[in-house]
Amino acid sequence: VLIGEVARRSGVSARMLRHYDALGLLGQVGRTGSGYREYSGEDIERILHIESLRALGLSLREVGRALDDPGFRPSELIAELIGQTRERIAAETRLLTQLRRVGAAEPAGWEDVLQVVALLHALGSENAGRRQRAALSSALSSAEEFAVPVDALVEAALEETDPNVAGALRWALARSGGGLQQLARGLGSPVAEVRERAAQAIAEIPGEAATELLRAALTNADIVVRRCAALALGPRGSAEAIPTLIDMVATEGRDVDAADALGVLAGDPVLADRIATGLVNRLTGGAVDPAARRQLTQALAGIPGDRTSQALTELSRDADRAVAVTAAYLLKLREPPDR
């Protein structure tokens, strides 16, 4: 069979058939008296084999090695090819999300494209300084002509380990005002750090939508998220955060911040009563550790109202000297200034 016939039937161009021959992939191909290549049935079969292996992604060189080595184990090669293909898909997918972000920024001209690309690239950089600069510039560039790619900011904020850069990213997000939906998804991440970062980022975003999200986060499965949400909800005047905040006052660590948040909420007299009652219930409930009782007592400092005054009077006779002294001191502070 001559080369043209083989080319037509196998779908491989005559050029490539000659190339295979030149590379020695076919062993020796027969020739007619006048020098034309004469392919045998075996040759054709071998050509089909070559095409099969090439379809799996092997290079011609690899095909040659594979077909020549009769004792080759295919399974590991297949596994390796799978790995390589996955890697390529991952790279292409990263490229695709970059492209989508650039497109979403609706650049008006090349200048904008270049700026967005540089920004995205810097946000994904290994270098913390570059990331920092990128975060700051996206925080400040909201007045530019192109839209800052919010989802890239969210992704960066959720993955950022450097605290300074993370802060800058949260600031940028807060200024952009968007990304709440993706941050909300971050609250459900399997990774604890991501959940916490999402909660912090939402906490720094102003507006009713973020507040609503924080209220929902009060029922999050992750206690860290719940506490972060509660701290942020205090200044926003959300009474739903009170139980979590009282829990936090009784816990080591964020008790001062929680007490402050309760103090802000207690600006409303109705809430002040509820908060005071909650704190007192905690103090008189059984099995509370002494350190927690002291923190709860101190938290009463920020809560106005008669309910607190009564509680402090009783606490000034508390069995725990530290509690009694603190309560007495706070009581004196609350005496009316007109002697």
Partner DNA sequence: CCAACTTTTACGCCGCGTCACCGTCT
Partner DNA sequence: AAGACGGTGACGCGGCGTAAAAGTTG
Other CB atoms within 10 A of residue 207 CB:
12
Does the protein bind a second copy through residue 59 (CB under 8 A)?
no
Among 98, 141, 189, 277, binds a second copy (CB under 8 A): 98
Shortest reach from residue 93's CB to DNA, in Å: 20
Query: How far, in Å, CA of 252 to CA of 249, rounded?
Result: 8
- Residue 278's binding partner among a second copy, DNA, none (Cβ under 5 to 8 angstroms by kind) is none
Does the protein bind a second copy through residue 163 (CB under 8 A)?
no
Q: What is the three-class DSSP state of 44?
A: helix
Does residue 56 bind a second copy (CB under 8 A)? yes
Place of tokens 């450097």: 162
Closest C-alpha to 261, from 249, 279, 274, 273: 249
Report phi then psi at 30, rounded to 5: -70, 160
Q: How far apart are alpha carbons 266 and 76 in whole angstroms?
A: 67
Binding segment for a second copy among 100-108, 245-253, 277-285, 296-304 (CB under 8 A)? Answer: 100-108
Which CB, 76 or 338, lies closer to a second copy? 76
- Using the minimum distance from each CB to DNA, give the nearer residue, 22 or 221: 22
Shortest distance, position 15 Cβ to a second copy, whole Å: 22
Task: Decide which of a second copy, DNA, none touches 28; Cβ closer than 5 to 8 Å per partner kind.
Answer: none
Name 331's Cβ contacts closer than 8 Å, sequence gap at least 6. Answer: 309, 312, 313, 316
Helix, strand or coil, per DSSP, at residue 12: coil
Which of 40, 85, 164, 313 is close enough to bind a second copy by CB under 8 A? 85
Q: Which is nearer to DNA, 42 or 252 (CB)?
A: 42
Within 10 Å of residue 49's Cβ, how many Cβ atoms?
A: 14
By beta-carbon proximity to a second copy, the closer residue of 149 and 186 is 149
Minimum distance of DNA from residue 32's CB (angstroms): 5
Binding positions for DNA, rule: CB under 7 A = 2-5, 7, 13-16, 18-19, 32-37, 54, 59-61
- As a whole number of angstroms, the distance between CA 210 and CA 178 comes to 10
Nearest CB to DNA, comparing residues 16 and 331: 16
Nearer to a second copy, 82 or 191 (CB): 82
Taking the complex as a whole, the smallest distance from the CB of residue 153 to a second copy amounts, in Å, to: 18
Q: Return d(Cα 239, Cα 266) in angstroms, integer.
A: 10
**Nearest approach, Cβ of residue 9 and DNA (Å):** 11
Least distance to DNA from the beta carbon of 16, Å?
5
* Interaction partner, residue 70 (DNA, a second copy, none; CB < 5-8 Å by kind): a second copy
| 110 binds a second copy per the rule CB under 8 A | yes
Q: Name the β-bridge partners of 38.
A: 30
Q: What is the DSSP string of 223-255?
A: HHHHHHHHHHHTTTT-GGGHHHHHHHHTSSSSH
CA distance 52 to 77: 14
Residue at 65: amino acid letter: R
> For residues 97 and 99, what is the distance between their CA atoms, to the nearest angstrom?
5
In the list 21, 62, 112, 144, the residue contacting a second copy (rule: CB under 8 A) is 112
Q: From the CB of 155, what's the least distance to a second copy, in Å?
A: 17
| Backbone torsions φ then ψ of 320, nearest 5 degrees | -80, 115
Q: Which residues bind a second copy (CB under 8 A)?
A: 48-49, 52-53, 55-57, 66-67, 70, 72, 74-75, 78-79, 81-82, 85-86, 88-89, 92-93, 95-96, 98-100, 102-103, 106-107, 109-110, 112-114, 117-118, 121
